[in-house]
Amino acid sequence: MPEDHVALIGPINRTLFVATSLLLCFLFCTFPLTTSQRLQSQMTLLCILLCSILFLLLSPLPNPRSLNFFYDSLALSAWKTTGFSTWSLRVNPSSGNLHPAEAYLIAPPIESLSDSPFVAHYAPKGHTFEIRATIPSEFFPKFFPDNSFLIGISSIFWREAWKYGERAFRYCNHDVGHAIGAIAMAAATLGWDVKLLDGFAYKDLEKLMGLQIFPDFKIPSRPIKGKFPDIEFEHPDCLILVFPNGSNQFDVNYKELSSAINQFSNLEWKGRPNSLSKEHICWDIIYRTAEAVKKPLTIQKGEFPADQLKNSGICSENSYKGLTIREVVRKRSAVDMDGVTVMERQTFYQILLHCLPSGKGEKHRGQLALPFRALSWDAEVHAALFVHRVIGLPKGLYFLVRNEDHLEELKKATKSEFKWNKPEGCPNDIPLYELATGDWRELAKHLSCHQDIASDGCFSLGMVAHFEPTLSEKGAWMYPRLFWETGVLGQVLYLEAHAVGISATGIGCFFDDPVHELLGLKGSKFQSLYHFTVGGPVLDKRIMSLPAYPGPSIDA
């Protein structure tokens, strides 16, 4: 948490203060007192009440809609405690619960937050905003539609690298995708739409979020251990426009926007982030990869693609347990699967319907349904599914084609003996294909670094991206974006699993070459980027859950 940001007081702190004041008032009124003591206590009581009133009048009250938006997307979801250990969880999942992602709100004036347009850092522990800078008043009216604002996402690679080494780059970008999915869903509950503003260059995002305050990190020629405080810099990932659902098409001129953002370097930026570690191990490949995939400015002018929202298909509405959106998004991922829970076939199909990008009645390619519509490219990620415990569906290997333009290419790229048959009872809207039947539990476990969670759920899957052709056509900067897409898909699987009464979790450790060998994939046309599992969770009764707010007085 930055040391000298201007922290705005959240509603929780206000509530605690006023509750404490009322409790003191009650105590003064109930204890037996002498006349002089009563007079003194009345004066004290009056002071307390006046202070409470002044506190309510003068302390800023964050805009309720903006707080709800962050509460249902990037806030803490709970605290867990066992023995002497206590830790927090968040609405947006993270590899190892390490949370390398940071979020920034860039917005016009918001009542009780700021009288001027501003950039603020979101602090999940206190569910508060920390003002970093005020920005020119003409910025939003000139470039964006009314009632819109921006969310910036950045990553601190070191938060993952200290534990996972080279894999940190992949995990950080999975987390960006989960955050994008969480933001899109939370926005939809408030009548807002979201879209990546993907024309910006890396340097534009850096200036917009005030991340140019970090010195350039000098990348060593090999992995090295030592004291490298600069390694904890924030890497700007993406910028998301949040705007009213149903808005008309509008123009986005990235060249003019880039020129305006260039002046943000001259703003008075407040705050310096705290450091995490005194010593570091620099995995140079992480930073060389990040350097190689930095996006240049895309010079384009034209209508912003505010495409009409397409609803996902429904084939088994009764599969859902009647939970509210808030109840669903605040449930947490599984640590272990029970190896017993089974799923009805129609529930399985219902989950897959919501994993498709284009919505009901569409040929699947463009990303028009929630939350995939936040992404600015056609679907490039598919799913190879290991079905273990789905009633009415044979155990085996299946494939969900999320961009139907790739179907023939996939058939040619995979093993010739695969059937590519539609499963029994599968709705026409789902491009799901049975490749081979059989018990694949041990193999699924082996492919996911011998982890039982891959075999003990109802089904598990590997996300397979249309890889080399995408990078060749669009540029190396699409590399992290393919991981973002897997993260968004993973976020849907989390939400769907919780909504039908079970659970899910991402699997970051897997053997990609054996996955390719299993499918018959050669070269780099298609690549496995993320694994996932869905099933009945094992609850650890030793761990107690506590409310997210107010949390214990320790670091989140």
Secondary structure (DSSP) of 293-334: TPPPP---EEE---PPP-PPP-S-GGGS----HHHHHT----
In the chain, the amino acid numbered 360 is K
pLDDT greater than 90 at residue 4? no
Q: How confident is the model at residue 84 (pLDDT cuts 50, 70, 90)?
A: confident
Contacts of residue 117, Cβ cutoff 8 Å, sequence gap at least 6: 106, 107, 108, 109, 134, 135, 136, 137, 139, 140
Contacts of residue 43, Cβ cutoff 8 Å, sequence gap at least 6: none
* 183-238 confidence digits (pLDDT tens): 999 999 999 999 999 999 999 999 999 999 898 899 999 999 999 999 999 999 99
How many DSSP H helices and E strands does the chain contain?
Answer: 16, 22
Q: How confident is the model at residue 362 (pLDDT cuts 50, 70, 90)?
A: confident
* 498-507 confidence digits (pLDDT tens): 999 999 999 9
Least confident of 23-27, 427-431, 491-495: 23-27
The Cα 510–Cα 87 span in angstroms is 26
pLDDT at 50: 55
The Cα 465–Cα 531 span in angstroms is 12
pLDDT greater than 60 at residue 37? no
The Cα 87–Cα 89 span in angstroms is 7
Phi, psi torsion values for 91, nearest 5 degrees: -65, -45
In the chain, the amino acid numbered 100 is P
Q: If you ran DSSP here, which 8-state letter would residue 243 be given?
A: E
Identify whether 296 is preceded by a cis peptide bond (ω within 30 of 0): no
* 139-149 confidence digits (pLDDT tens): 999 999 999 99
Residue 135 CA from chain centroid, whole number: 26
pLDDT at 55: 41
The Cα 82–Cα 461 span in angstroms is 32
Average pLDDT of the chain, as a whole number? 89
H or E element in which residue 77 lies: strand 76-82
Domains with residue ranges and CATH for the chain: 92-293 (3.40.109), 325-535 (3.40.109.10)
